[in-house]
Amino acid sequence: HLDVPLSDVGRQQSRRLARRFQIACRPDSSHPLLPHFGIKPLSIAAQFSSDLSRARETGQIVRNEVPSLARIPLLTTPLLRERNFGEWQGLEAEELRLRRREGGTEPPNGETETQVFDRIHQALHDIASHLASAAESSTKNVLVYGHGGSLRALLCAALGLGAKDMRRFRLENTSLSVVEISGFVRGGKIEIQSGRFVCLNETAHLLPNDIFDRG
């Protein structure tokens, strides 16, 4: 996998995301994490990240700037890495689109969509098993920092969708997506009973003069 570091723009966006969580996690805050959905107060049970530097640094920036998150370890795993694009690794987006038009969707000597989806599915099982082993409430919120492709796969896996569904939407850098799922863990694997999107690709914190600036 190509480990591209977080850019200065990425760090700025990460700090704006941190500000959003900083306000939403305050005990006296009047701002929910998601104003239109009323999710508050916000309590996080665990934090997970891809072990690649750009996702890991995003998680570290948020964790370091939010007191309630600073007490929770940021657990890293290679299972949340972006797709390995093989010979297409490092190409610009337009060049990638051209290669796909010419030769299909699977990169030479890289991961197939199915391989990515299977890997991310294992990450979901591991996250659920970690949460199930905790002794606290059965309802738990978890933060996951990843990449465009790996997070799209994770959202699809959590909702019982397939690998091909990853192509149906996109995620902006440092966007916020929330899924609500219920199920149980058996034999180290999660069995999902129901799931729904609460929000997808939400970027209010990146807008100038957003409500979190006024928190």
Residue 211 lies in a domain: no
Residue 210 buriedness (CB in 10 A; 0-12 / 13-18 / 19+): middle
Residue 3 lies in a domain: no
Q: Could you give the angle at the alpha carbon of 123 between the alpha carbons of 2 and 166, nearest 5°?
A: 70
Q: Residue 150: what pLDDT?
A: 97
Look up the domain containing 31 and give its range.
8-206
Q: Residue 30: what pLDDT?
A: 61
Q: Residue 32: what pLDDT?
A: 65
Residue 153 lies in a domain: yes
Residue 1 lies in a domain: no
Residue 214 lies in a domain: no
Which CATH number covers residue 200? 3.40.50.1240
Q: Looking at the 3D structure of the chain, how many domains does it have?
A: 1
Residue 79 lies in a domain: yes
* Residue appearing with tokens 């805050």: 29
Residue 72 lies in a domain: yes
Q: pLDDT tens digit string along 35-57? A: 655 556 678 899 999 999 999 99
Q: What is the pTM of this model?
A: 0.88
Residue 213 lies in a domain: no
Q: Residue 95: what pLDDT?
A: 81
Strands (E), 159-188: 176-186
Q: Residue 146: what pLDDT?
A: 98
* Residue appearing with tokens 């995620």: 171
Please identify every stretch of the chain with a pLDDT value under 50, giving residue numbers as ranges. Answer: none
CA distance 210 to 92: 31
